[in-house]
């Protein structure tokens, strides 16, 4: 009943095509008779349907229609052979490239679908036709086929290509994969980068990376230096240029740029950063000299670069920065660099500087670096350090015995931090110790123990007992610990009870907990809070009721 509609007006015909396609393979046997129809459109519709349905199609029956008297039928046949992945048709499709332009478009699409690399020589001949549209389609297909055999004809064509066709040629060459040092390609890529929009520039960057275009280094650094990193539109552009340069690895060119007085400040900072990531030993003397530069960001970039290179001769200059630089950010970067390098020679000097450091963030960084360099020596007598140093150790150390000592520290803040850090170790053997702190008379210690237990995700009875603590915030932290450790696998009555707590933050937290648990019982418990005296609690309850 549906097939006759193919002879009707466009609306009915399109409806019929949709219905027949949805029927799928069961409709295929009924369509073969349409291939003999005298109406060109009917034959075309039948062939289109075979390509869309796919299931159960005897594809060899389509091959004769590459020679059909109607160009639309021949084009539809080529397209369906590609969709049906009928590789046996490749010789026939190559032969059909001699057909008129309209058919050739569909043949090229099919050869691309079939990944017919054997068709490259014949497709390349189309680069010499007069039609720019057909040339464009041929270029695009050669790129899709990704055959190295296509590089030579594409490069030959590129020499005299119009501006409109240069970009698709380069794009196809990049899809194939540019071999390094491909003659003249870098000049084309540089022109494309200079003259194109950002989409063209991205294509050019990919090509530069593949072809190792070292001659593009100055242009790329200068371009990156002109981009303001604070602007959202540049957020992805600078890293893309940087990654391209890292792939090119233009060490000599970057060293020359480092000496240039013309390059912009941001470009010079990127140059320094790249030399570090390329681990350029040749750059070490220049980078050390930049540690004395007036510009803070260049000093900081040089510190980071020297840390990447990590040669023994950079340790002393970095220590000098740590001792003498006027900017705390640069000093902190130098301390961090020494830790990354795990420079043994820096251990004693850093220890000597530690007690005199007045900025806590730099002191913390020193502690981290000393732990990385030699944690055993540094932590061997932890109680001998000043309060600030012990505080930093309690925060950053991951040594169990050290943290156990600091968890009994006379300074409460050090003790609190150490107890919480013990939880981060997620060592089940420490659970008993953490639970013991729940009996401490100081509520701050009890709170830190609950935070540590939450880190361990241990759903133990002791955290439920803490819901009865006389300190408001201890009860609050107990509820949070239960949430993190037990999830919704908890008796709802316990949480409902907390809705009656006198401390409003606990009631709010309990409401959120009931949202997680869900269900009718949670809904009914929250419904009663609609008349609560506190407007914030009423509003929160209403929000969760609507959610449930």
335 and 350 in contact (C-beta within 8 Å)? yes
Q: Quote the crossing angle between the two packed helices 71-83 and 101-113, to the nearest 10°.
A: 10
The reply to whether 488-547 shares the fold of 399-481 is: yes
Nearest to 364 by CA among 383, 388, 331: 388
The whole-angstrom separation of Cα 273 and Cα 270 is 5
Distances from the Cα of 45 to the Cα of 4, 101, 150, 520, angstroms: 12, 21, 35, 57
Q: Can you tell me the distance from the alpha carbon of 498 to that of 480, in angstroms, rounded to the nearest whole number?
A: 12
In which element (H, E) is residue 299 found?
helix 296-309
Q: Are 517 and 495 in contact (CB under 8 A)?
A: yes
Q: HSE-up of 25 (CA within 13 Å, CB side)?
A: 5
Alpha-carbon span 521 to 15, nearest angstrom: 52
Helix or strand or coil: residue 408? coil
Instruction: Look at residue 20 in the predicted model and tell me its pLDDT.
Output: 65
Tokens 């396609």 belong to 21
> Per-residue confidence of the chain (548 residues) as pLDDT tens digits?
455 545 555 555 556 556 666 666 676 777 787 788 788 887 887 888 888 888 888 889 889 989 999 999 899 999 999 999 999 999 999 999 999 999 999 999 999 999 999 999 999 999 999 999 999 999 999 999 999 999 999 989 988 888 789 889 988 998 888 776 666 788 889 988 998 889 889 989 999 998 899 999 999 999 999 998 888 988 899 999 999 999 999 999 999 999 888 888 899 999 999 999 999 999 999 999 999 999 999 999 999 999 999 999 999 999 999 999 999 999 999 999 999 999 999 999 999 999 888 889 999 999 999 999 999 999 999 999 999 999 999 999 999 999 999 999 999 999 999 999 999 998 888 899 999 999 999 999 999 999 999 999 888 899 999 999 999 999 999 999 999 988 888 888 888 898 888 898 998 898 888 888 888 887 788 888 787 788 887 888 788 778 77
**Measured torsion, CA atoms of residues 66, 72, 75, 80, in degrees rounded to the nearest 10:** -90
Give the pLDDT of residue 133. 93
Task: Give the alpha-carbon dihedral of 125, 131, 134, 138, to 10 degrees.
Answer: 30
Q: How far apart are CA 333 and CA 337, in angstroms?
A: 6
Q: Does domain 488-547 have CATH number 2.60.40?
A: no
Residue in 142, 71, 75, 141 with CA at minimum distance from that of residue 107: 75
Q: Which residues of 477-493 are buried (b: 16+ CB within 10 A; e: fewer)?
A: bbbbbbbbbbeeebebe
- pLDDT score for 14: 58
Closest of 16, 24, 93, 14 to residue 54, by C-alpha: 24
Calpha distance 158→141 (Å, rounded): 16
Q: How many whole angstroms separate alpha carbon 419 and alpha carbon 446?
A: 10
CA atoms of 363 and 328, how far apart (whole Å): 11
Residue 452: name the closest of 499, 440, 512 by CA: 440
Instruction: Pick the closest to residue 477 from 442, 443, 447, 440 (CA basis).
Output: 447
∠ at Cα 53 (52, 56), nearest 5°?
140
* Residues near 96 by beta carbon (within 8 Å), at least 6 away in sequence: 66, 74, 78, 103, 104, 107
**Domain boundaries along the sequence of the chain:** 399-481, 488-547
Provide the CB-side half-sphere exposure for 194 (13 A, CA).
Answer: 10
Q: What tokens does 364 get?
A: 């913390």
CA angle at 40 for the pair 34 and 45, rounded to the nearest 5°: 55
Tokens linked to 494: 């316990």
Residue for token pair 């004809």: 153
Q: What is the CATH number of domain 399-481?
A: 1.25.10.10
């Amino acid at each position: 009943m549906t097939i006759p509609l193919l002879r009707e007006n466009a609306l009915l015909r399109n409806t019929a095509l949709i219905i027949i396609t949805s029927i799928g393979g069961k409709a295929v046997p009924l369509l073969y008779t349409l291939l003999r129809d005298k109406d060109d459109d009917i034959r075309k519709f039948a062939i289109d349907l075979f390509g869309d349905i796919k299931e159960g199609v005897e594809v060899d029956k389509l091959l004769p229609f590459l020679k059909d008297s109607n160009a639309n039928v021949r084009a539809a046949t080529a397209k369906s052979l590609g969709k049906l992945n009928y590789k046996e048709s490749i010789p026939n499709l190559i032969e059909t490239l001699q057909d008129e332009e309209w058919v050739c478009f569909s043949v090229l699409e099919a050869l691309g679908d079939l990944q017919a690399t054997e068709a490259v020589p014949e497709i390349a001949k189309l680069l010499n036709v007069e039609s720019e549209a057909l040339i464009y389609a041929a270029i695009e297909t050669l790129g899709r086929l990704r055959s190295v055999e296509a590089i030579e004809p594409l490069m030959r064509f590129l020499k005299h290509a119009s501006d409109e066709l240069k970009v698709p040629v380069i794009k196809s060459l990049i899809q194939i994969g540019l071999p390094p040092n491909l003659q003249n390609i870098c000049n084309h890529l540089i022109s494309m980068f200079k003259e194109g929009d950002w989409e063209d520039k991205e294509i050019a960057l990919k090509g530069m990376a593949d072809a190792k275009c070292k001659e593009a280094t100055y242009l790329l650094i200068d371009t990156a230096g002109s981009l303001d990193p604070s602007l959202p539109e540049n957020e992805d552009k600078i890293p893309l240029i940087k990654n391209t340069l890292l792939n090119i690895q233009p060490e000599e060119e970057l060293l020359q740029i480092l000496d240039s007085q013309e390059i912009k400040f941001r470009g010079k900072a990127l140059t320094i950063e790249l030399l570090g990531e390329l681990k350029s030993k040749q750059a070490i003397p220049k980078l050390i000299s930049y540690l004395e530069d007036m510009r803070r960001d260049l000093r900081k970039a040089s510190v980071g670069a020297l840390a990447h290179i990590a040669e023994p001769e950079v340790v002393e200059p970095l220590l000098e920065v740590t001792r003498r630089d006027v900017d705390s950010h640069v000093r902190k970067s130098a301390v961090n660099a020494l830790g990354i390098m795990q420079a043994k020679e820096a251990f004693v000097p850093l220890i000597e500087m530690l007690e005199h450091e007045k900025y806590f963030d730099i002191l913390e960084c020193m502690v981290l670096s000393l732990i990385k360099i030699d944690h055993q020596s540094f932590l061997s007598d932890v109680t001998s350090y000043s309060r600030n140093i012990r505080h930093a150790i309690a925060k950053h150390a991951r040594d169990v015995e050290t943290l156990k000592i600091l968890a009994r520290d006379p300074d409460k803040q050090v003790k609190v931090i150490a107890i919480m850090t013990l939880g981060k170790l997620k060592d089940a053997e420490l659970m008993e110790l953490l639970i013991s702190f729940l009996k401490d008379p100081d509520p701050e210690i009890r709170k830190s123990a609950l935070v540590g237990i939450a880190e361990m995700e241990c759903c133990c009875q002791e955290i439920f007992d803490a819901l009865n603590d006389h300190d408001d915030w201890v009860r609050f932290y107990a509820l949070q610990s239960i949430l993190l450790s037990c999830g919704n696998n908890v008796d709802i009555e316990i949480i409902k009870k907390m809705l009656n707590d006198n401390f409003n933050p606990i009631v709010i937290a309990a409401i959120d907990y009931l949202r997680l648990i869900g269900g009718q019982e949670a809904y009914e418990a929250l419904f009663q809070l609609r008349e609560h005296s506190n407007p914030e609690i009423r509003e929160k309850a209403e929000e969760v009721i609507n959610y449930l």
